[in-house]
Structure 1
Amino acid sequence: MSHVDLQVNGYAGVDFNGDELSIEQVLDACRAMRSHQVDRCLGTVITDSMDAMCARIGRLVDAMEQDDEVANTVAGIHVEGPFLSPLDGYAGAHPKSEIRAANLEDAQRLVDAGRGHVRLVTLAPEQDSAGKTTNWLSDQGIIVAAGHTNATLKDLDVAMDSGLTMFTHLGNACPSEVPRHDNIVQRVLSRASRLAISFIADGFHIPMMALGNYLKCVPEQNIIIVSDAISAAGLGPGTYALAGQNVHVDDDGAAWAECRTHFAGCATSVQSMTEKLRQELGIDEARIQAWTQTNPARLLDGK
């Protein structure tokens, strides 16, 4: 079964956020992903200075435009940040010093760097006054997702009215302790009929028991499984790079930031996640195919 992964920061020793990224490295990562049944992905660039983000987007686009095999695998760019929540827990592995409020000038710089290949932008709705940036991005045909956010219901509703159609890795990028009733997970689940919602199904980012509960609250056609893979994916335990920081992968496969207070991406392939969904949650093949292939492909293809 082939998969479509909307969030890949790197793979098999290759960091898509690396400042020395070569076309050959991107090609190597693509071949490794395809060997693990990912036929299409979005290369993900995370928060940094605007200059660094634009340069990293440009390097991925160079690889897409100069190598057909890369172009057949990397379907576009997912820009995750810098318009995120700077609050502890919500920022996650994104450097707070570079997080900023959404604005049209920076959004246009990022989109222009992608030369038509930016397909998805993740932002925090509370950082986007009146949904102006969301509306502009949506008008460009770009999928806009909420993520790394503590958006209120009103924030989410304004964003959806402005073109927001997705939420990025629900259950993560939030503090380990939140209000027990009114929190970002509950707010998003209350809007699950209007949003495609992605989940990292590695068993670390969300315990499988909790993931099973979340999945029951979301319409089948709105569930998307993403890897949030980093350069460590497919390599096993060790220390690896992600956008200028070190990430440690434990023997059990969990990928931690250096401070060990939060995960920093994922070292588990989508292929392994499907096995967990089958074995631990009893998910059948039809639903797995929908969540890892049909639903994300529909978003990418605008259907």
Structure 2
Amino acid sequence: MPNNKFFDLQINGYYGVDFNQGTLSSDDLHEACEALQRDNVESVLVTIITDDIPRMAERISRIVQLRASDPLARRVIAGVHVEGPFISEVAGYVGAHPVAHAKQASWAEMETLLEAGDGLVRIVTLAPEQDPTQDVIRRLTDQGIVVSAGHTDASLEDLDAAMDAGLSMFTHLGNGCPRMMDRHDNIIQRALSRSDRLQIGLIADGAHVPFFALKNYLEITGTERAFVVSDAIAAAGRGPGIYPLGDQTVTVGEDGVPRAEDDSHLVGSATTMQQMADNLRLHVGLGSAEIQRLTSGNPRRLMGEVVPLPLGLGLRNGDRQATTS
């Protein structure tokens, strides 16, 4: 596979550094950016997860300030992805986010987070059912911020209304939902049924979504309507151990998978983008151009960059043989 510079739209931490720590230092951030560059990651969106609004704002503001004073961080960090707090409060759908801080969307609170971001907030993940009037979605879209559905049990009606208001993405499909759901009418099937209008995010570590299911999802979306994120926590690039994520402590086992203490859900990923690219080649059967599209081209396009579309790529309706190299 040719050298591919990755663009990761969702990363919570890296190489022992948790971006959701209020005590994050300039040395921490610089070290994480150095590690990302070594691992062929050219750009990232630092992801700040659900907490109370003042603490989220403080963490976003800290990222902005530390980035401004470090040329390497300015090159690597393309912006901020705000994941929460306007997400489902229902067990399973809330995932690893602290349920006490999940809530209905409020534009006043969203503005507080945007002001802390000083123009660097690029994506906001929320649950459409937590913005029933679509006011927050519409206002974010009007400001050029990508709005993504995630940690949600939105109905088709909720999804359609949100998309009509500007929602254009789905965050890590197959995750942020309970292990047991209706076998047909569930959020995964609803999102896939609207993948002609949504860019679908996927975590390609084999733990968040089994590779056979990931292959099925890509058959439906095509590589033109999907992208891969790491959803990495501080364990990425390090291996087994105990790591922070905000106020949580996460244990990563010998299998390299971060899990909650009761094994009820996963807590981010410890897998690098390079490992995910390798997984797409070895376990999903994708070719170099398709992998580049999922891990770099599509994310850049979503962030507004003009990226030429390679000819002949599809991975929809059985095109794989024509597209794999």
Q: TM-score, normalization: structure 2? A: 0.92
Aligned to 2:219: 216
The residue type paired with residue 230 of structure 1 is I
Asked if 1:70 is matched to 2:43, the reply is no
Q: What is the deviation of 1:257?
A: 1.8
Aligned to 1:205: 208
- 1:75, 1:143 → 2: CA distance? 14
- 1:15, 1:118 → 2: CA distance? 18
The residue type paired with residue 95 of structure 2 is G
Map 1:1-303; keep pairs closer than 5 Å. Answer: 1-301=4-304, 303=306
Q: What is the deviation of 1:164?
A: 0.3
- 1:269, 1:154 → 2: CA distance? 36
Q: 1:107-129 deviations in whole A, cap 9, x for unaligned?
A: 10010110010000000000002
Aligned to 2:313: none
Structure 2 residues not aligned, in runs of 5+: 307-325
- 1:130, 1:216 → 2: CA distance? 33
Q: What is the deviation of 1:268?
A: 0.3
- 1:257, 1:142 → 2: CA distance? 31
- 2:298, 2:277 → 1: CA distance? 15
- 2:77, 2:281 → 1: CA distance? 27
The residue type paired with residue 201 of structure 1 is A
The residue type paired with residue 218 of structure 2 is L
- 2:268, 2:223 → 1: CA distance? 25
Structure 1 residues not aligned, in runs of 5+: none
- Which runs of 4 or more aligned residues in structure 1 lie more than 4 Å from their structure 2 counterparts after TM superposition? none
State the identity %: 49
Q: What is the deviation of 1:45?
A: 0.2
| Larger Rg over CA atoms | 2
The residue type paired with residue 104 of structure 2 is A
Q: Would you say the 8 A contact 1:63–1:71 is kept in 2? A: no
Q: 1:191-210 deviations in whole A, cap 9, x for unaligned?
A: 00111111000000011111
Q: Would you say the 8 A contact 2:132–2:158 is kept in 1? A: no
Q: What is the deviation of 1:66?
A: 1.2
Q: What is the deviation of 1:258?
A: 2.5
The residue type paired with residue 108 of structure 2 is E
Secondary structure at the residue paired with 1:281?
Answer: coil
What is the alpha-carbon root mean square deviation over aligned residues? 0.8
Secondary structure at the residue paired with 1:282?
Answer: coil
- 1:257, 1:23 → 2: CA distance? 29
- 1:236, 1:206 → 2: CA distance? 20
Q: What is the deviation of 1:302?
A: 5.4
Aligned to 2:322: none
Q: Would you say the 8 A contact 2:223–2:290 is kept in 1? A: yes
Q: What is the deviation of 1:219?
A: 2.8
Q: What is the deviation of 1:19?
A: 1.3
- 2:202, 2:97 → 1: CA distance? 18
- 1:90, 1:67 → 2: CA distance? 37
The residue type paired with residue 151 of structure 1 is A
Q: Would you say the 8 A contact 1:231–1:242 is kept in 2? A: yes
